Amino acid sequence: MAGSKIGEMRFDGKVAIVTGAGGGLGREYAISLADRGASVVVNDLGGTRSGQGKNNAAADKVVQEIISKGGKAVADYNSVEEGEKIIQTAISNFGRIDILVNNAGILRDKSFLKLSVEDWNIVLKVHLQGSFLVTKAAWPYLREQKYGRIIMTSSGAGIYGNFGQANYSAAKLGLLGLSNTLAVEGKKYGIHCNTIIPLAGSRLTEDILPSELFDKLKPEYVSPLVVWLCHESCPETGGVFEAAGSWIGKYQWQRSVGKAYLPANEKLTAESIRDNWNLITDMSDCNTPASVQEQMGLLVEALTGSVTDR
Ligand code: NAD
């Protein structure tokens, strides 16, 4: 590896697992972390885009690439459904685990009418259950050492919905819920968990993105965000960040000020809701609660009338 530059974020002594690192975005994350000194477990099952078959070549190639530049990496060919085994690869080769990037993914796009139970199950199994199982196996190590950096990979489809992606959207938004709770539970143990929404030209998007966009949205433009979120100096946790073609931004939830009908037993009716629908759904002066505590605080304010009845 090239000598480190002053001010460069380094990962010397840290061990990172990147799932689905045999190609696309995961490959970039693995290479970037290894370039900066991390020992990396390059996990990849090596199946098709729709999750069929397996092949060791994908992970092997990335490991070779890292080693040829003087970095430290080991291949792992397990499916993310075998979370425990992936963590054991890190422990037996490098003795610890500091960083986990949950990235592996497949697609089974079908309109909802045509979506089979099998298409639903396999997408949920790889994305949501897989990220859960690998993270669950890593968690005791991170808690014990009071340090960890976890990334969950969501998608615009999870946030907004997307035609033909009911299974994928459900899994991807599930990952955001999982990440948010791990951020809450991990805080006092120095474990940070953030969610990313990447967009990049890869095997997954080659027939989805328009060709002029595909070439601009290079996977290597997403990895700097992942490197930053995985670094010990990054204070973020419980965040959702989007990265695409060198654009980086953050998401937050909005909740309208709404309207309380007090006293409820006299004023709350379906008709009163209909008659105030514009006010109830008015987002012009909205709140942005960032936790259930903030949400409850706003609710209590509204229900105790400390906010003027409107
Ligand atoms: P990709 O197909 O290039 O890479 C995914 C990798 O995961 C593949 O190498 C594949 O072999 C591996 N994989 C699949 N199932 C696995 C399993 N069960 N166990 C271990 N490895 C497995 O796709 P990509 O575009 O690099 O996507 C990476 C992640 O980013 C996915 O979670 C995807 O849903 C998400 N994402 C990508 C985009 C995008 O624009 N490319 C947008 C939103 C979200």
| C-beta of residue 34 within 8 angstroms of C-beta of residue 40 | yes
Note if 168 is an active site residue. Answer: yes
Residue 204 Cβ inside 6 Å of ligand 1? The answer reads yes
Q: Summarize pLDDT for 151-204 with one digit per residue, the tens.
A: 999 999 999 999 999 999 999 999 999 999 999 999 999 999 999 999 999 999
Residue 198, beta-bridge partner list: 243
Residue 19 Cβ inside 6 Å of ligand 1? The answer reads yes
| Distance from Cα 145 to the centre of ligand 1, integer Å | 29
| Distance from Cα 204 to the centre of ligand 1, integer Å | 7
Burial label for 186, CB within 10 Å (0-12, 13-18, 19+), is: buried
Q: Global pTM? A: 0.97
State the Cα torsion 144-148-154-159 to the nearest 10°.
90
| Distance from Cα 106 to the centre of ligand 1, integer Å | 6
Residue 245 Cβ inside 6 Å of ligand 1? The answer reads no
Of 28, 31, 25, the residue nearest 11 (C-alpha):
31
**Rounded Cα distance, 152 and 171, in Å:** 11
Task: State the 10-residue block means of pLDDT for the chain, 310 residues long.
Answer: 79 98 98 98 98 98 98 98 98 98 98 98 98 99 98 98 98 98 98 98 92 93 98 98 97 97 94 97 96 97 75
| Distance from Cα 104 to the centre of ligand 1, integer Å | 4
Beta-sheet pairing, 99-102 with 15-18: parallel
With the most atoms of ligand 1 within 8 angstroms of its CB, the residue from 62, 133, 202, 205 to mutate is: 202
pLDDT score at 6: 87
Catalytic pick among 77, 147, 168, 221: 168
Count Cα atoms within 13 angstroms, Cβ side, for 171. Answer: 27
**Rounded Cα distance, 21 and 104, in Å:** 7
Q: What distance, in Å, lies between the first and last C-alpha atoms of the chain?
A: 63
**Rounded Cα distance, 143 and 190, in Å:** 8
Q: Determine the atom of ligand 1 nearest the C-alpha atom of 126.
A: 18
ipTM surpasses cut 0.85: yes
**Segment holding 192, helix H or strand E:** strand 191-199
**Rounded Cα distance, 201 and 152, in Å:** 19
The packing angle between helices 24-35 and 223-230, to 10°, is: 50
| C-beta of residue 99 within 8 angstroms of C-beta of residue 14 | yes
